[in-house]
Structure 1
Amino acid sequence: MPVGDRNGAKVWRRRTQTESLSHWALWLTGVAIFAYCWQQISGATTWFFVWDAPRIAEDIWTRATPPKWDYITQLGKPIWDTINIATMGTLIALCLAVPVAFLAARNTTPSALLVRPIALLIIVSTRSINSLIWALLLIAIIGPGVFAGVIAIAIRSIGFCAKLLYEAIEEIDNTQVEAITATGASRWQIMAYGIVPQILPAFAGIAVFRWDINIRESTVLGLVGAGGIGLQLSASLNVLAWPQVSLILLVILAAVVISEWVSAKVRGAII
């Protein structure tokens, strides 16, 4: 902004003196917070292991290469289980997320004071807990295995899918809804012919996107006993079979890349 110098001429400055002082005060506060956090982290870190990390990493790399290629014959069923965990978990989540999304959207909820807060609570609670934690809880309840992984993925995905879907419902064009309402259609007919057709592309995109994410998450559920290829990875790590570990990681990488490619193709076809 223009300010006067000693000779009375106008000189442009980006900030006033008060704004400059506030700007520097924020920077100093940020630096002080960073220094304090670094001090706490440094005090809780065993720096000997940090400095020795390159040597350990080189040793593990030497042990893990080349991968044990003949072990791939034992990874067919685990990777298939992983894909099934992600797929079934996504399907269950979508079936549960759709009604929750309609109950959470302002323009479709039966009650903004009672029903909508409950739906939003379901969305927040299922999104806030990681799938690994859900898997640990479910393993303690229903035992280890693929079923616990499916339910863990499903619970984790409900909030994600419902949140994106209810936002899409709230952003629909009300003109089509008003036109169908004017014909005397019932509430269910308005929903079926005025709302659902508008959100179908968003629903399909959300479903594919979440399935792609679940492929990644399901690969590690086996580390806690929820089945899939993570179970093979945990077993190999426990016995320090590094050539097997490197092969499993390559298989996981290939599965994630393929799922990403499929997801991109499907989303491109929908959009």
Structure 2
Amino acid sequence: MPVLQSATGRSWQHRSGRQRLIAWFGWLALVALVVFAWQVMTRDTIWAFVADAPRQAADIGERMFPPRWGYMERLWQPLWDTLNIATLGTLLALFVAVPVAFLAARNTTPSVRFVRPAALLLIVASRSINSLIWALLLVSILGPGLLAGILAIALRSIGFIGKLLYEAIEEIDASQVEAVAATGASGAQVLDYAIAPQIMPAFAGITVFRWDINIRESTVLGLVGAGGIGLELSHSLNTLAWPQVTLIFIVILGTVVLSEWVSARVRHAII
């Protein structure tokens, strides 16, 4: 603890006695929280399985190689379905998220007291439920298939796009809006000439970024029956066809890397 002697004879310390006591209690609470979390995490752990995990992992790893490359001909259609789930789900979300974002933004909502809270509630509800849970619910309602996957991706994406977009709307330069409105422009013209040009870069970046995320999420929706390459992964796991699992992992990795490259290029071109 650094202590300096001043000209008046009084010493200077980095923290006062009260601050040191608060910091000490803070560290004590953090240690107690870590101990409690560890107890909760390991309460139902069977340590015999944990000790045997390296051997089991090595055994599965041996079974997974080499990949069954001939199985690739059966993956093209599921892979195409996965891309369609991500793309159509993103587009469907845009049709809902854009109006919701304008209703949620303080500077464009028709009612701060009533309409804005309702729009924010929709955004929060969408973001609070994972796409896999949406898929479980929709498969139960609509049955297995691509439609459930597309709607699950859309319902999850509405909150993400809506939140980022309404924040971008609230950050626009109000002077440009006032200048266009002062010319006697209508509300639609103000939106077209003052608001839209300011948010278009953010809108494009958000859309591409969400599409990139949806590529990742759509690869696992098949595990609950929502179609795509995840369905083939589920079948291969259930039948312990480990060489097929390896090939599916390679295909998913390649797809995600390609989508990341595409989204990065698009964002770079926009920005």
- The TM-score, its normalising length taken from structure 2, stands at 0.96
Distance 2:36 2:86 in 1: 41
Give the match for residue 123 of structure 1. Answer: 123
Shift, 1:18, TM fit: 0.8
The superposition leaves residues 97-144 of structure 1 with CA deviations (integer Å, 9 ceiling, x where unpaired) of 000000000000000001000000000000100001100111111110
The Cα offsets for residues 43-94 of structure 1, whole Å up to 9 and x where unpaired, read as 2211111111110100000000010011111100001100000000000001
Distance in 1 of aligned mates of 2:175 and 2:103 = 21
Instruction: Give the Cα–Cα distance (whole angstroms) in 2 for the partners of residues 41 and 212 of structure 1.
Output: 32
Matches within 5 A, 1:56-71: 56-71=56-71
Indicate the residue corresponding to 2:54 in structure 1. Answer: 54
Shift of 1:187: 1.3
| 2:140 maps to amino acid | A
Structure 2 unaligned spans of 5+: none
1:10 and 1:71 mapped to 2: Cα distance? 79
The aligned counterpart of 1:202 is: 202
- Equivalent positions of 1:180-199 (< 5 A) are 180-199=180-199
Structure 2 residue aligned with 1:243: 243
* Paired residue type of 2:249: L
How many aligned positions are there?
Answer: 270
Letter of the 1:266 counterpart:
V
Contact 1:2–1:11, Cα closer than 8 Å, also in 2: no
**What is the rounded CA distance, in whole Å, between the counterparts of 2:127 and 2:226 in structure 1?**
19
SS where residue 12 of structure 1 aligns? Answer: strand
Q: 2:141 aligns to what?
A: 141
Contact 1:2 1:10 in 2 (8 A): no
- Give SS of 1:233's match: helix
Deviation at 1:148, TM superposition (A): 0.6
Cα RMSD after superposing both structures: 1.6
What pairs with 1:161-180 in structure 2 (closer than 5 Å)? 161-180=161-180
Which aligned runs of 4 or more in structure 1 are off by greater than 3 angstroms?
1-5, 7-12
- Letter of the aligned partner of 1:45 in structure 2? T
Q: Percent same amino acid at aligned positions?
A: 66
SS at match of 1:235: helix
Q: How far 1:95 moved relative to its partner?
A: 1.2
Q: Which residues of 2 match residues 152-163 of structure 1 at below 5 A?
A: 152-163=152-163
Q: Is the 8 A contact 2:90 2:157 kept in 1?
A: yes
Task: Work out the CA distance in 2 between the residues paired with 1:178 and 1:96.
Answer: 27
Q: Partner amino acid for 1:172?
A: I
SS across alignment from 2:66: coil
Contact 2:123 2:160 in 1 (8 A): yes
Question: Is the counterpart of residue 106 in structure 1 residue 102 in structure 2?
Answer: no
- Displacement of 1:3: 7.1
Letter in 2 for 1:206: I
1:32 lines up with 2:59 in the alignment = no
CA contact (8 A) 2:4 2:13 kept: no
Contact map agreement 1:79 1:228 (CA 8 A) in 2? yes
1:4 Cα shift?
A: 7.8
Q: In the alignment, is the contact (CA less than 8 A) between 2:80 and 2:228 conserved in 1?
A: yes
User: Partners in 1 of 2:56 and 2:192 — Cα distance?
Assistant: 60
| Deviation of 1:8 (Å) | 6.7
Q: What's the CA shift for 1:9?
A: 3.4
Q: Provide the C-alpha distance between the structure 2 equivalents of 1:163 and 1:40, rounded to a whole number of angstroms.
A: 34
Change (3 A) 1:4 1:241: closer
User: Is this contact kept in 2: 1:223–1:231, CA < 8 A?
Assistant: yes
What is the SS of the residue equivalent to 1:66? Answer: coil
Q: What does residue 234 of structure 2 align with?
A: 234
Q: Kindly indicate whether the alpha-carbon contact (under 8 Å) linking 2:3 and 2:14 is maintained by their aligned counterparts in 1.
A: no
1:138-158 deviation line (CA, Å, top 9, x unaligned): 111111001110000000000
